[in-house]
Structure 1
Amino acid sequence: MSGIAIRIEANGLDTLAAKLEAMTERAVNMTPLMARFGAELLGSVFANFAAEGRPEKWAPLSASTVRSMENDAVEAAQNTARWKNAKSDATRGNIESARIAKDVGRHKILVRSGALRQSIMVGEVTNDSVEIGSSIPYARIHQLGGTIGPVTVRPKNKQALAFPTADGTVVVRSANTPERKIPGRPYLKIQDEDIKLFIGLTMDYIREGAV
């Protein structure tokens, strides 16, 4: 044949067909891709904790929570040898203030003990879904908000609780806290950039079948 022509080799079509078949098989078996989604989403949730809410900031800590944290810090300071060996009330007060600044000031919202954040993990992974969450009982109320209480409070390191009043100090072995509302702070939240990342991961996953 003279002039110009296009030649198609059968083995080239076979290669193309094999690649298309491999890509189709990857599209059917999406479990590895779901596992990738879970790993990336776990990192995104940790970023939500670090930012104290994304894109909207979480509600700030309540005054009662801050007071509770301050009381814990004072109690911890009073159990140190430095506080017990202090020569004056002023020195003890400075030790307590320093402990409050250290223990309360460094805490981010929802990271008082770190237990909630550390409990977040990837759960069941299937061909079309991946689960991420926490099994801690109070994880749900922090995510969605709600009401708790009343709760019975007892001293951690002492035999009684002391409450200042207008008539003096009241000492009790336990006390009931009032009912308290907890605002929702959605730490399990998918961001817009997560969706874009998932789309890119999906395209990469399918393309890998053609390599």
Structure 2
Amino acid sequence: MIAMLKIEVNLDTSEAKAALDRLNHAMRDTTPLMMELAQIMSESTDRAFENEADPVTGAKWPKLNPDYKARLAETGYTGSMLQRDGTLKTNIHQEYGHGYARVGTNVTYAAIHQFGGITRAHWIRPKDKKALAWRKGGKSYVRRAVFHPGSEIPRRRFLGVGPQDKQDMEETIAAYAREALMGKRR
């Protein structure tokens, strides 16, 4: 006679199934999660302007060209980079919905600062006068228009996520899933 050993395990998986159903339900519309992720990205952008530093690497933005900085000072401006009139910083917007979160701007000159590059050549004409006038090296100049060959603008990235932002996003996603599994999120 052969002896048989039999082990039978019966599991009640109803709680696990209910938790997974809750997670599935929470993932049908991820808008609340995406709103939190967009907020993290927006805060990263705010810090970039505040610290004048790349949000991805943490490296300080390149200094302003000394001639340009002097021209700004002549107008009385001594403030932060990329914030002369506040247009760029105040036009950073969040967008989010099911499955997406983004932060960006529609300001036309934003890309040249984000990526760096050379501006296109163009003519400069007075807006409300007959001519342009300036002094350089003790000499006065008056012209109806001047040709500008373009300027090299260094990269001053203000949009992006760095290592801490990524960690914050991962923790936010984990908390969202944990809350859904526990029935604290609908």
2:3 corresponds to:
none
Q: TM-score, normalised by structure 2?
A: 0.78
Q: How many residues align?
A: 170
Q: Following superposition of structure 1 onto structure 2, how do residues 106-145 of structure 1 map, counting pairs within 5 Å?
A: 107-127=79-99, 129-145=100-116
RMSD of equivalent CA atoms: 2.6
Deviations 1:107-162 (A, max 9, x none): 111111111111111135332x2222111111111101111143333446655322
| CA apart distance, 1:70 | 3.2
Distance 1:204 1:155, change over 3 A: same
Checking the alignment, whether the CA contact within 8 Å between 1:125 and 1:131 is kept in structure 2 is no
Q: Distance in 1 between matches of 2:116 and 2:139?
A: 37
Q: Percent identity?
A: 25
Q: Which runs of 5+ in 1 are unaligned?
A: 1-7, 74-99
| CA apart distance, 1:185 | 1.0
2:146 corresponds to:
175
Range moving further from structure 2, 58-67 or 163-172: 163-172
Distance 1:64 1:53, change over 3 A: same
Query: Is residue 2:52 matched to residue 1:49?
Result: no
| CA apart distance, 1:37 | 0.3
2:6 corresponds to:
none
Checking the alignment, whether the CA contact within 8 Å between 1:152 and 1:176 is kept in structure 2 is yes
Checking the alignment, whether the CA contact within 8 Å between 2:117 and 2:155 is kept in structure 1 is yes
Query: Is residue 2:171 matched to residue 1:196?
Result: no
Checking the alignment, whether the CA contact within 8 Å between 1:37 and 1:198 is kept in structure 2 is yes
2:72 corresponds to:
69
Query: Is residue 2:124 matched to residue 1:153?
Result: yes
Range moving further from structure 2, 197-206 or 19-28: 19-28
Q: Which runs of 5+ in 2 are unaligned?
A: 1-9
Q: Distance in 2 between matches of 1:188 and 1:126?
A: 22
Deviations 1:46-78 (A, max 9, x none): 11111001400011111332233234x1xxxxx
Residue in structure 2 matching 1:60, options 55, 63, 68: 63
Checking the alignment, whether the CA contact within 8 Å between 2:23 and 2:177 is kept in structure 1 is yes
Distance 1:115 1:167, change over 3 A: closer
Q: TM-score, normalised by structure 1?
A: 0.70
Amino acid at match of 1:56: A
Range moving further from structure 2, 187-196 or 157-166: 157-166
2:176 corresponds to:
205
Checking the alignment, whether the CA contact within 8 Å between 1:154 and 1:175 is kept in structure 2 is yes
Q: Distance in 2 between matches of 1:64 and 1:111?
A: 18
2:26 corresponds to:
26
Higher helix residue share? 1
Distance 1:67 1:160, change over 3 A: farther
Q: Distance in 2 between matches of 1:141 and 1:158?
A: 29
Q: Distance in 1 between matches of 2:38 and 2:70?
A: 37
1:3 corresponds to:
none
Q: Distance in 2 between matches of 1:27 and 1:166?
A: 66
Query: Is residue 2:38 matched to residue 1:35?
Result: no
